[in-house]
Amino acid sequence: MTVSMRKSTETLYNAEKIARFFGIAVKTACEWCREGKLPAFKIGKEWNVRVSDLQKMIDRKVRVRRADDSPRLF
């Protein structure tokens, strides 16, 4: 069996970048990742989120908000 590993050029945000992006504490960013509020995964001990997944999540929330006019992201 051959396993192919392709090099990804996709940008990842770690917990610190996620915290800066949302204007929250790093601890809160880690909690959101652990609770599944963000499409996150771990590499070693560090939480990461693909920027493209974050954008898709935000786009879905914006569409839902337009439909029901809800003010919350989560």
pTM: predicted TM-score of the whole model, two decimal places? 0.71
Per-residue pLDDT in tens (0 to 9) along the chain, 74 residues: 555 556 668 999 999 999 999 999 999 999 999 999 999 999 999 999 999 999 999 898 887 766 666 566 66
pLDDT at 72: 62
pLDDT at 63: 77
3-state secondary structure (DSSP) of residue 42:
strand
pLDDT at 3: 54
Which residue ranges make up each domain of the chain? 12-67
Alpha helices by DSSP H, 1-74: 15-22, 26-34, 51-68
pLDDT at 61: 81
